[in-house]
Structure 1
Amino acid sequence: MFDLIVIIRVSEGANIDPVADALSRMRPLCLAEDGCVSWEAYQSHQDPHRFVLVEHWASRADWEAHDSGDAIQKIYIPEIMPHIEREVHPSMRVHRPHEGVTE
């Protein structure tokens, strides 16, 4: 499993709704891609400029192939990237010793 957290900050308030709409349109495209286990976008209640993407991919190779898909090429790059700053964090779930790892 390859997990990814992406933190997005929309620079101008006028771009918040268009970015939210674009992220919403990306979801079904991402979920249809090979290896996409789940893909969710969240918007902060406290700071509407901030979005967090939580992605789970079957493998890093599947995530890397995602770059050439329609979600990235037709929506993310042209509609979102010009209006944001972002942090990309390949991540792993934190498990406590008493938790069984079933993933």
Structure 2
Amino acid sequence: MFDLIVIVRVPEPADIAPVADALARMRPVCLAEDGCVSWEAYQSHEDAGRFVLVERWASRAHWEAHGEQSAIQDIYLPDILPRIEREVHPSVPVGTTPEGATA
């Protein structure tokens, strides 16, 4: 498995609703992609301009292929990325070994 956490901040209040809408549109498209195990976007109750994406892919290769698919090309790049600041964190659940690493 390949897990990814993306922390998103929307600096302009006017961009919060369009980003939330675009993330909602991305979810079914991502879930339909080969290798997408789960894909969720969360919006903070405390800070409406803060989102956390939690993605699980069957492999890093599946996630890398995701970059060429419709969710990224048709929604994320034009509708989200220009409006956000982000941190991308390939991650593993605590107590597990990252894909490709030796124990």
TM over 0.5: yes
Is the counterpart of residue 24 in structure 1 residue 7 in structure 2? no
Quick one: distance in 1 between partners of 2:79 and 2:25? 11
Match of 1:100 in 2: none
Once the 2 structures are TM-superposed, how far is the Cα of residue 11 of structure 1 from its aligned partner?
A: 1.2
**Shift >3 Å, 4+ stretches:** none
Match of 1:82 in 2: 82
List gaps (5 residues or longer) in structure 1. Answer: 97-103
Once the 2 structures are TM-superposed, how far is the Cα of residue 95 of structure 1 from its aligned partner?
A: 3.1
Q: Aligned partner of 1:93: which letter? A: P
Match of 1:53 in 2: 53
Match of 2:100 in 1: none
Q: Aligned partner of 2:3: which letter? A: D
Quick one: distance in 1 between partners of 2:37 and 2:67? 16
Match of 1:35 in 2: 35
Give the superposed CA RMSD. Answer: 1.0
* Deviations 1:50-93, CA, capped at 9 Å, x for gaps: 00000000000000000000000000000000100000000000
List gaps (5 residues or longer) in structure 2. Answer: 97-103
TM (norm. structure 2) is 0.91
Match of 2:6 in 1: 6
Q: Aligned partner of 1:87: which letter? A: E
Describe the SS at the equivalent of 1:41: strand
Q: Aligned partner of 2:55: which letter? A: E
| Percent identity (aligned) | 74
